[in-house]
Amino acid sequence: MRSLFWCGAAQLHACTVTMSTSILSGLKPISVNTLLNEGALKPAFESLTLLSSHPLTPPSLLEHAHSLLLDFCTTEKALPQGQQLHARLLKSHVSAFLATKLVHMYGKCGSLSDALKVFGEITERTNFTWNAMMGAFVSSGKYLEAIELYREMRVDGVALDACTFPSVLKACGALGATRSGAEIHGVAVKCGYGEFVFVCNALISMYAKCGNLDGARMLFDGIMMEKEDAVSWNSIISAHVAEGKCLEALSLFRRMQEVGVESNTYTFVAALQGCEDPSFVKLGTEIHGAVLKSNHFVDVYVANALIAMYAKCGRMEDAVRVFESMLCRDCVSWNTLLSGLVQNELYSDAVNYFRDMQGSGLKFDQVSVLNLIAASGRLGNLLKGKEVHACVIRNGMDCNMQIGNTMIDMYAKCCCVKYMGHAFECMPKKDLISWTTVIAGYAQNECHLEAMNLFRMVQVEGMPVDPMMVGSVLQACGELKSKNFVREIHGYVLKRDLADTVLQNAIVNVYGEVGHIDYARRVFESIKSKDIVSWTSMITCCVHNGLPVEALELFYTLNQFKIHPDYIALISALSATASLSSLKKVKEIHGFLIRKGFFLEGPIASSLVDTYAHCGNVENSRKIFNSVKKRDLILWTSMINANGMHGCGRRAISLFEEMTDENVIPDHITFLALLYACSHSGLMDEGKRVFDIMKYEYKLEPWPEHYACMVDLLSRSNSLEEAHSFVRNMPIKPTSEVWCALLSASLIHSNKELRELAAKKLLQSDTENSGKYVLISNIFAADGRWNDVEEVRLRMKGNGTKKTPGCSWIEVENKIHTFMARDKSHPKSDDICLKLAQFTELLETEGYRAQTKFVFHNVSGEEKMQILYRHSERLALGFGLLVTPNGSTIRITKNLRICDDCHTFFKIASKVSQRTLVVRDANRFHHFERGICSCGDFW
């Protein structure tokens, strides 16, 4: 159009050669480049003024000059200049031709009201006038009005031409009005325009947008035999891409090349959109090569499509390379790159490129800001997030709902609940996404009551609720450990019929978190189409509620339903296996992982290391650890912890040093595992050094658990005064775990004064767990204070606190055999007791003597001996001796700490039986071999 205007101006100049020199000088041609800015129109308007004022100017030439200028205003969307021309025309008679041009110009410039006004003033309307008005409606998104105008044309008997159909068909496609589109198709055929290529292209596009791809394809195939029109190909390729038929779209693109139709910008853009899937990235690269050969690479639209294609395929290096090679970039170029960086989790790069965008002088828009907000949130960069928020307010974007919702999410991810709530309150309009995002933000930032209160507000205001919002509320309920809240939400879900599979899975999960295992099981059984998440949720529920056997049964049931376990299901199964210390089952799962081709990296590798360690086979843990090439912090921590629980404290310290040499930064959990390892290996000096490294080198403020571990370390080493001094100087209030550690050590090392103090502090602590009362009761019993023992037991009864009974289990022939203290329920109970009695007599010949001082019951010495002999770990050992081959290793797991007498018993038993006895108690592993324990009696 720019060249057309230049030619028109030149023609205008040629027609006025007989005019005066002053007029001729005003009519010289205007170059294309100078027409790009507003000021360049001034010479053209001056020439038009001269023509208008000259008496010899023919009316046809004057009309032609106005027409050229209106065309240019239309092309450049120069509304003010178009309005200026309109004002000039109003001074004289406006022909129907120029009025039609005005309608067209106003429509393209987005001023529908002006277009309607001009259209209403035209008394003699041609079909061109009607078409222009219809096009104005379509350009303004008033598709229904466009169709109504077409019908009015038909009623008024206006003759239709080929140009009538593209606009009305576009309106039908936008509305999805298949029936109206088909009727108009019939009219086009009846009027003889059905075979016009541009009408066929409009029909193809209409059918495709209405979801009738078969109809679009039938039209395309029937257009003409050779199909030489590139627009037809572009239309059908785009139609297939829009319907997700990318393979078919790319096949059509290949056919287009084969028949020799030249590709243009729209062809390449459509084909590249069809490659926005990682499986098609190779084809996308081939199209990139074709673009380079065809010289379309300089086209900004094609370059933008290339950036989008590479970004969607995860090839951001290629996307950046295309972007950097662009000579001219528009806002879409920057936004496409920013979106790709955010989608590919390159958040820092997105922030840097946004800064470059500002430096380029290009004004950012809503899409740019949304990407920057999202990147700031994912980075947890609160300062950058606040900067963006300020920028949004300065540029008047703070009223935009989508930006407001993203801002709420950003503050939530930055853990800034105060600003998140403020951003939510300041939104002038809120939709369902706003409420869902802020409720999720509160739930994720441990403001669970706030989340619940907002959910109540949603109900009060009568807003619709979706499963995603309910999922966030359920998360808050789970963290609050409120069974009543969970039941209320469950009832609400059932009443509103919101229970899809995803939400039912979440309900199963949260019932498990609050310990309502029966309700979880009922919901699980009610799910009609159970997916892997359903099964995993139920398995996890069982694991968290101390039902590892049931968890593994569910896991093995997956095979019956032909459901393939994923990483999370396998990790849950490994967690159940670790709880049972079932070495055979962890080997089975390990074998399954290898057979199914799972990569033993990341969480799976860490879980395997941890499970093998909990099953007593730390050597396998080391093998898996050594086989992983990329070791993350969790894997290092798991291996450190594995060595710690098996009494290999120095090896744990060595691993820590290797980890830091590889520039892996330790966290609180790593140091907790390391202190635990030092505590259970008697490495007091090393433990102190580790504690100082955590505080002063890595600037990590110790948790209460770290302080408790340090007290335990000092106490176990018989440095009771130093331990007491450490407790007195703690910057936080000592927890019950701290006093428990001090109390246990003072009992072992017979420090009565410290024992009394620790017992008193422990009784004053807030915790109501049974371990606290049992320990205090044992202290009183050791001193023979039976009245105080009775008082403690009455207090436990009054609080509803029950002593956890001793329980041990052993795996034989793929079956778990469980024993309680003084249990006689096992089918082989009599044989076990006989075997154990005979074995005990044998041990007594080797020097074993029952230490009845560790029986804290007010009974006779003989009864105390019988109580010792019936401890659950001894019953498990008796069963193992009875049914396993001589010389084989016996592995026993106990839910409580092994007592001193049983520890001595097992040491001598390992020597007499010439077996390795592995006992995992609540604290650690004990490997008994040839009369020696791996803990070195430091336990």
Q: Determine what percent of the chain is predicted with pLDDT higher than 70.
A: 91
Please, which residues bridge with residue 920 across strands? 893, 925
| pLDDT of amino acid 57 | 63
Lowest-confidence region among 153-162, 540-549, 617-626: 153-162
Q: Interhelix angle for 197-209 vs 213-223, to 10°?
A: 160
| pLDDT of amino acid 23 | 36
Contact indicator for 891, 613 with CB cutoff of 8 Å: no
| pLDDT of amino acid 768 | 66
Q: Which helix (H) or strand (E) holds 810?
A: strand 807-812
What does the pLDDT average to over 608-616? Answer: 96
- For the cut 80, the answer to whether the pLDDT of residue 25 exceeds it is no
Confidence bin at 856 (pLDDT 50/70/90): low
Q: Interhelix angle for 532-544 vs 548-557, to 10°?
A: 160
The distance from CA 747 to its chain's CA centroid, rounded to whole angstroms, is 50
pLDDT, tens only, 878-889:
999 999 999 999
Contact indicator for 47, 15 with CB cutoff of 8 Å: no
pLDDT, tens only, 454-481:
999 998 888 888 899 999 999 999 899 8
Comparing 302 with 46, the larger pLDDT belongs to 302
List the domain boundaries for the chain: 809-933
| pLDDT of amino acid 514 | 92
Among 36-40, 88-92, 251-255, 668-672, top mean pLDDT goes to 668-672
- For the cut 70, the answer to whether the pLDDT of residue 33 exceeds it is no
**Residues in CB range of 562: below 8 A, 6 or more apart:** none
**Residues in CB range of 782: below 8 A, 6 or more apart:** 747, 853, 856
Angstrom CA distances, 598 to 531, 570, 594, 595, 635, stand at 20, 10, 6, 8, 17
| pLDDT of amino acid 26 | 38
Kindly state the greatest CA–CA separation across the chain. 138
Confidence bin at 744 (pLDDT 50/70/90): confident
Comparing 769 with 261, the larger pLDDT belongs to 261
Q: Which amino acid is at 729?
A: N
Q: DSSP secondary-structure letter at 734?
A: P
Comparing 95 with 574, the larger pLDDT belongs to 574
Dihedral angle sign, alpha carbons of residues 398, 403, 405, 407: negative
Among 90-94, 228-232, 242-246, top mean pLDDT goes to 242-246
Dihedral angle sign, alpha carbons of residues 304, 308, 310, 311: positive
pLDDT, tens only, 791-811:
878 888 777 777 788 899 999
890-894 and 917-920 as β-strands: parallel, antiparallel, unpaired?
A: parallel
| pLDDT of amino acid 524 | 96
| pLDDT of amino acid 796 | 81
The distance from CA 896 to its chain's CA centroid, rounded to whole angstroms, is 39
**Residues in CB range of 802: below 8 A, 6 or more apart:** 770, 796
- Of 264, 307, 306, 313, which is closest to residue 289 (Cα–Cα)? 306
Mean pLDDT over all residues of the chain?
87
Lowest-confidence region among 114-118, 131-135, 232-236, 339-343: 232-236
Please, which residues bridge with residue 816 across strands? 811
Lowest-confidence region among 57-66, 163-172, 584-593: 57-66
- In DSSP notation, 639-688 reads HHHHHHHTT-HHHHHHHHHHHHHTTPPP-HHHHHHHHHHHHTTT-HHHHH
Tokens describing residue 921: 């108690």
- For the cut 60, the answer to whether the pLDDT of residue 28 exceeds it is no
Please, which residues bridge with residue 818 across strands? 809
**Residues in CB range of 894: below 8 A, 6 or more apart:** 806, 807, 808, 872, 873, 919, 920, 921, 922
CA angle (548, 552, 558) in 5-degree steps = 150
Dihedral angle sign, alpha carbons of residues 485, 489, 495, 500: negative
Give the separation between CA 690 and CA 683, rounded to whole angstroms.
Answer: 10
| pLDDT of amino acid 296 | 65
What does the pLDDT average to over 558-566? Answer: 91
Give the separation between CA 908 and CA 929, rounded to whole angstroms.
Answer: 9
| pLDDT of amino acid 297 | 66
What does the pLDDT average to over 14-29? Answer: 35
The distance from CA 193 to its chain's CA centroid, rounded to whole angstroms, is 52
| pLDDT of amino acid 54 | 65
| pLDDT of amino acid 40 | 56
| pLDDT of amino acid 12 | 36
Angstrom CA distances, 870 to 834, 838, 856, 877, 896, stand at 12, 14, 14, 11, 15
pLDDT, tens only, 890-936:
999 999 989 888 999 999 999 999 999 999 998 899 999 999 999 88
Give the separation between CA 859 and CA 855, rounded to whole angstroms.
Answer: 9
Confidence bin at 865 (pLDDT 50/70/90): confident
Comparing 937 with 177, the larger pLDDT belongs to 177
What does the pLDDT average to over 297-310? Answer: 89
Give the separation between CA 893 and CA 872, rounded to whole angstroms.
Answer: 10
Q: Classify residue 481 as left (phi > 0), alpha (psi -120 to 50) or beta.
A: left
What does the pLDDT average to over 346-366? Answer: 92
Contact indicator for 540, 511 with CB cutoff of 8 Å: no
| pLDDT of amino acid 14 | 36
Contact indicator for 377, 441 with CB cutoff of 8 Å: no
- For the cut 50, the answer to whether the pLDDT of residue 22 exceeds it is no
Comparing 673 with 236, the larger pLDDT belongs to 673
Tokens describing residue 345: 């989790």
What does the pLDDT average to over 644-663? Answer: 95
pLDDT, tens only, 403-414:
999 999 999 999
Give the separation between CA 409 and CA 342, rounded to whole angstroms.
Answer: 15
| pLDDT of amino acid 6 | 36
Around 99, how many Cα atoms within 13 Å sit in the side-chain half-sphere? 20
Confidence bin at 814 (pLDDT 50/70/90): confident
pLDDT, tens only, 276-294:
888 888 989 998 988 888 8
**Residues in CB range of 567: below 8 A, 6 or more apart:** 598, 603, 604
What does the pLDDT average to over 372-392? Answer: 93
| pLDDT of amino acid 52 | 66
| pLDDT of amino acid 170 | 92
